[in-house]
Amino acid sequence: MKRMCLLFIISLCLVSQAFAGTTGKVSGVIKDAKSGEVLPGANVVVLGTRLGATTDADGNYFILNVPPGMLEVQASMVGYTKVTQTDVRVKIDQTTKLNFELSEQTLEAAEILVMAERPPVELDLTGSKQT
C-alpha cells in the first residue's frame, strides 16, 4: 500500500510539472517622449528571437511565449529613434512590464531632381488656321 501511495504521489508531481509554464510575457505602452502621446503602430521586438508585436490604437503591446532569462527588447517607429532596453528579466509565467518613450527623428533623403522639358514649337499647332 505504501508503495502504491508513493507511486501515486510521484506520478502526480510529474503531471503537474508537465502543465507548468515554460515562458513569460512582455507588455507595455509606447509613447512620444516629448508630448506623452501614445504611438499606435510602433514595433517592439525581442532581439535574438523572432518574437515581436505592434502597438494597438492605445499604444499598448504584448508579446507572448517569451523565453525566460535576460533579454534585449527594442522599440521602433518610422520618424522616431530606435530605443533598446537591455537586461530585461523575463520570468516563467509572469508578465514583465516594459514601457518605452521614443524621441522624434528627422528623416533625410537624398536630393531629388525633377526636370520637365517642353519642345520650343508644338508641331501639330504650327501654320495658319482658317475658319
Give the pLDDT confidence of 41-68 residue by residue, as tens digits. Answer: 999 999 999 999 999 999 999 999 999 9
Cell numbers representing residue 116 in the block: 520637365
**Structural domain boundaries enclosing 53:** 22-99
How many domains does the chain divide into?
A: 1
Task: Name the stretches of the chain with pLDDT < 70.
Answer: 4-20, 119, 121-131
- The CB density around residue 51, as the number of other CB atoms within 10 Å, is 18
CATH at residue 82 = 2.60.40.1120
- Mean pLDDT over the full length of the chain: 86
**55: three-class secondary structure by DSSP:** coil
Alpha-carbon distance of 101 to 116, in angstroms, equals 44
Predicted local distance difference test score (pLDDT) of residue 116? 83
